[in-house]
């Protein structure tokens, strides 16, 4: 099951003043399906990075073990430390998906917290080249964090135990009997005396 980028998935993340998508979040590719705008991918990255920083700055005694129900035939339970798992997933996903040069920039700037001046001097880069690389890294990881399977890092509420996507739920709605669907609904009319 591959994640499909649609309008409802990107609308809240799109930058209102974006010159590429005009705040809609999707861009048309040549002859292909709509793709998420770069502003959306950067917003996904920033949300994940902010959560990473929140988890990293939390005091260690605040972190707690959580018991989760695993659906299936046996209905097992498992335990885990979600904050630590998230930080590990964030770092390992970045390391696996970035080139060694990109990962060096990511590590210095995002994990070690160096500002652009220190990064530029340490990595022997010009300011403009550094920021272009930072934007490319954000876009690349934003896409990966959302499309990661089987469990994506974004949306954060799903990762941290909120809503879990599964197979569609069967509806309680009544269905039209075959043959009547093409005629349309005719509501019963009450005679007025």
Gyration radius of the chain's alpha carbons: 23
**Reported pTM:** 0.74
The alpha carbon dihedral of 186, 187, 188, 190 has a sign of negative
Q: pLDDT tens, 65-88?
A: 767 666 667 777 767 788 888 999
Q: For 40-63, b where at least 16 C-beta lie within 10 A, e where not — what string?
A: bbbbbbebbbebbeebeeeeeeee
Q: pLDDT tens, 153-172?
A: 888 888 877 544 444 445 44
Helix (H, G, I), strand (E, B) or coil at 171: coil
Extents of the domains making up the chain = 7-98+139-159
């Amino acid at each position: 099951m591959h994640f499909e980028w649609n309008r409802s998935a990107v609308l809240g993340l799109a930058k209102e003043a974006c010159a590429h998508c005009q705040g809609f979040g999707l861009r048309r590719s040549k002859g292909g399906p709509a793709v998420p705008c770069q502003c959306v991918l950067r917003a996904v990255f920033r949300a994940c990075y902010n959560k990473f920083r929140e988890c990293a700055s939390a005091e260690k005694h605040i972190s707690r073990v959580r018991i989760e129900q695993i659906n299936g035939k046996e209905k097992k339970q498992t335990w885990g430390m979600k904050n630590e798992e998230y930080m590990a997933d964030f770092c390992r996903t970045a390391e696996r998906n970035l080139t060694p040069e990109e990962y060096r920039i990511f590590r210095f700037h995002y994990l070690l917290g160096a500002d652009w001046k220190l990064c530029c001097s340490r990595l022997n880069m010009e300011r403009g080249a550094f920021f272009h690389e930072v934007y490319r890294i954000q876009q690349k990881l934003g896409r990966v964090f959302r499309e990661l399977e089987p469990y994506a890092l974004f949306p954060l509420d799903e990762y941290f135990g909120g809503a879990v996507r599964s197979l569609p739920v069967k509806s309680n709605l009544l269905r039209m009997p075959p043959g009547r669907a093409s005629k349309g609904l005719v509501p019963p009319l009450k005679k007025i005396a």
